[in-house]
Each structure stands twice: as structure tokens, then as C-alpha cells.
A and B are shown apart, each in its own frame.
Chain A
């Protein structure tokens, strides 16, 4: 994949989308108070989800699949790049369609994204098939890819239906199913697997409670198999049953994660890892909130509780876990590209020194403050809190991107390490 170029390209496009969300919020800070079926809100959510979060996760998947599955990607060299060329313009067209309430355009952009997802799915299935690894971490990859395919094609159907009006099913139910297929089916499934690969690796810990990891994954998969059709077809009991299984699955994964995290030898917490941990906790809270909304229709009838649920899940849970992990992944990918070939030949900095810890802490604090204020603003219907919270989130994004640019600058301006070697430099080693 050309020295990490492909993952960095996906991640870069995702971060551009993130910058776009910040700009959108700056222009419309009251967006979070609008109805969740407002096309502008849906457009914003799609800039955040397939634009930012999905783009980053796709880059991470193409990087991780060979590592996790222990075998090269089973696809042509051009496939991932073709996916990128479908995904980025597809998302852009889709967002443009939403912004102007042109759903035919949304369907076209969405179809491009969906074809790209089929390419990912084929690569994931083929690589999984060639791998010998069959634990929950390995299974999470093809499962996530398949749920993603389901989510995007339901989305394309919905958009086409807005234009052509051919579906007899309730559109709102399909919209909810589409949202949960994506958020739970793709993002949560992926996190339930790769968390137990990445967190021990970055914290020098061990994967603990493997049976709970399995049980957690099975729980969410079973839950989604009930929840999605329950939402789509308006079957309340099926949806409640699915939501309950989801909560159980998330809880079991959470217990396994807590045990894995506790095993770490790297005790000093970095902001990226802390952000990831907080995000994971918020995903658990989101699962409980979702089950509550299903069980208490009175609350579900109030748009502000649903918006708050979405904000906690997306801006809290998903964004924090992804941004937190990016604090580790971006420096690592840049380090591999720039300094990897120089190891052993000259002093090189550690990957962890490429980023600014101060900027990372600043981002994390602003993100949490913004999140808290937006949630309170939504529930309390306070325009002032929404504006301040959106502003804090936007500034946090700017700080995060500034830090990312600093890391990326190593591509053009490699630097010697700041910290001196533990042993004083001997005479320059050379052949006698």
C-alpha cells in the first residue's frame, strides 16, 4: 500500500471532512436543535459519519487487515485505491445532495460509496478466508464490512425512494434501521474487535477475558439481527429484544476491555488512549440510552432525547474513540514512512514524539467540554449552550488538525530526535 500512503489518504480525507463539520457548526451552531430528519441535520450527520468517521476507519481497516489476519490483503493492488476514488467523491456528492435536499443526487453519491464498500467487503472476506486466525478480533473485520454494506445499500434505497417513491415500508423505520446498521453493525462491531488488538499493543498490555470478548461480539451481532428488522418493520418487541441483547453484548465487551486495560504496563496515560477509553465508556452509555428510548416510547416521541442519544453516540462515543486512536495511528504511519527506513542507520525520533502532547490534551478537554455543553443544550433547549458547545467542539477540532499537520510536516522536514540517547555516542561505527 505504498508505505502507508493509502491509509493516510483515507485518513486525510476523513480529517478534511472533520474540518468541514467544524465549519458547518460554526455557520449553524443551532443545528443540533433542529429535528433529526431535517435534511441539513442528515447532511451534517453524513459529513460526520461516512465523511469523517467511516473514511478514517476504512483507512485503518486497509492497514489493519493484513496485520490482524496475518496475511497480505487478498485483492488486486488497485482495489483499495479504486475504493478511495469512489468513496471520497461519492461522499462529497452525497453531502451536496443533502445540503440542497436533492435526493436523486444523494442516491448517486451514495451508490458510489456503496460500490466502494462492496470492494472493501470482497477484500475483507477473501483475506479472512486466507487467514488462519479465527478469534473475535479476526471475525470483527468481515462482519463489520458486511454490516456496512447493508447499511449503505439501505441508505441508497432510502435516498432513491425520496426521489422516486417506490417503497411501501415506513421511511422513518428504515431510516432508524439504516442508522443502527451503520453505527452498531459497522462501527461498534469493528471496535469490539480491533480494540483488543490495538489497546494492548499501544499500552504494553495483554488481551484478557477472551471468552467475554467472544460473548460480547455474539451479543451485539444477535442484537442487531433483531434490532434492525424490528426498527425497519415497526416491530417494537423485536426492537426491544435486540436492544437488550445489544446492551448485554456491549457490557460483556466492556468488562473484557476493563480487564485488558488494567493489564497495561504503560501506566502513564496519554490523551489519545484516555480519549479512547472515555469514548468506549460513552458507547456503553449510548447502548443503555438506546434501549431506554425503545422501552419508553414517551421519551422516544421527544426529538430532543433522540438528538441527545445521537450526540452521545456519535460525537461522544465514536468520535472520541476514533480521534483518540488517531492520536496513535497518524504518528505511527508517518513514522513508518519517514523514519522506518532510517532505523539503525541514524538516530530517529520515537513515533510518540512526532505529535504535541499539549495540543492533544487541549483537543481532549475542548471535545469533552463541547460535548457536555451540546448535550445539556439539546436537552435543556438552550440556544446559548448549543452555540458555546459547538464552538468548543469546533476549536477542539482545529487544535486536533493543527497537531496532525505538525505530525505530517515530518514528511517534508524530517528531524533528529530531541531526546539524547541513554548511552553517550561512541565513535561513529564504521567498518575497519
Chain B
């Protein structure tokens, strides 16, 4: 996840947002959107946050729920005035974006994948 923050702004805000998003879980796998590697970018400009995220599948029926949930979570963070979340498909999500903790939870080791 990359983030861009203007100088002299709240330097801890990206970390607070990241920590908040670690509590937003994919309903099927029970893994956070951060550990799944779904959050591609966060741009913060004077209290307004623009996020880019993707989904594990183009046909995920919970997609809109996840987008709304991420937006609500970001808007609930101290220092955030407003947020918008864009759904992107490039680059395509791959399981290589899973964090080590996510891989453990799934029982996936690369040699068996």
C-alpha cells in the first residue's frame, strides 16, 4: 500500500488508517483487506482520503459491501474529514499479494500452490 501525504500534515494518519483497515475483513476468508493485499493506494490531502482497492475476484458478490466498508472505516479515523474509495482491476490481484499471516491462515505454502 502506497500513500502520499503533504509535508507538515499528520504524519501518523496513514498508520492510523492502515491499522483501522486491518479490522475490515473479507467475509469469506476472515482476513483483513490489508493482509489480503487489496489496498493499492492511499492519497491524503488535508483530511480528504482517496483510496484505491481491488477485490480477489471480479465476480465477488460482496464487492460493494467491501468498498462501502472500507470508506466508512477510513472516514471514522481521527483526522479524516472525508474519503472516497475507487475500485480498480489493474494490476490484477494475485495471491502473491497475501501477507505471511494470511498465508498461514489459509494453510498455503508456495510450494503447494
Interface set of A (CB-CB < 8 Å, partner B)? 63, 67-68, 70, 197, 200-202, 204, 263, 265-268, 328, 332, 335-336, 339-341, 343-345, 347-348, 350-353, 419, 421-423, 425-427, 429-432
Contacts and interface: CB of A to CB of B under 8 A. Distances in A.
20 contacts: A68-B59, A204-B56, A265-B106, A265-B108, A266-B107, A267-B107, A332-B28, A339-B27, A343-B24, A343-B66, A343-B72, A344-B70, A344-B73, A345-B69, A345-B76, A348-B25, A352-B30, A422-B101, A429-B16, A429-B77
Interface in B71-111: 71-74, 76-81, 95, 98, 101, 103, 106-108
What DSSP secondary structure best describes chain A's contact surface?
loop
A201 B59 CA distance: 8
Given A265-B108, A265-B113, A422 B32 contact: yes
Contacts of A351: 27-28
Given A201-B57, A340-B62, A430-B76, A266 B69 contact: no
Given A265-B106, A348-B25, A426-B20, 8 more contacts: A201-B28, A332-B61, A335-B27, A340-B27, A345-B72, A347-B23, A422-B35, A431-B80
Contact of A421 (B23, B57, B66, B81): B23
A332 B110 CA distance: 28
A197 B28 contact: no
B61 A336 contact: yes
Interface string B10-21: 000000100110
A72 B27 CA distance: 23
A345 B25 CA distance: 12
A426 B19 contact: yes
B45 interface: no
B22 interface: yes
Contacts of A68: 59
A340 B76 CA distance: 17
Contacts of A204: 29, 56, 95, 106, 108
Top 4 nearest A-B pairs (CB, nearest first) are A343-B69, A350-B30, A344-B72, A344-B69
Contacts of B22: 421-423
